[in-house]
Amino acid sequence: MEALFLLVPLSVIMVFVALWVFFSASDGGQFDDLVGPGMRVLQDDDSSAPAAPAGPVDAAQQNGDVTH
């Protein structure tokens, strides 16, 4: 019986802490978009990235006079 004097208030405090954590996460935007990340996984994105554009070409490269 003496254990209940400790366990009941301790459990009530734990419930309030859990509620505070939940509502602070909710206010912080933690649960805003639950569907979007799951849908992005399912979208097929197998296309390769486009080739990077070539840098500026100088007159020597245009004429083919490039020596390395």
Q: State pTM to two decimals.
A: 0.48
Largest CA distance in the chain: 97
pLDDT in tens, 38-66: 888 888 776 666 666 666 666 666 666 65
Percent of residues, the chain, with pLDDT higher than 70: 65
Burial class (CB in 10 A: 0-12, 13-18, 19+), 34: exposed
Q: How confident is the model at residue 11 (pLDDT cuts 50, 70, 90)?
A: very high
Q: How confident is the model at residue 3 (pLDDT cuts 50, 70, 90)?
A: very high
Task: Give the model's pLDDT for residue 39.
Answer: 85
User: b or e along 47-60 (b: 16 or more beta carbons within 10 Å of the residue's beta carbon)?
Assistant: eeeeeeeeeeeeee
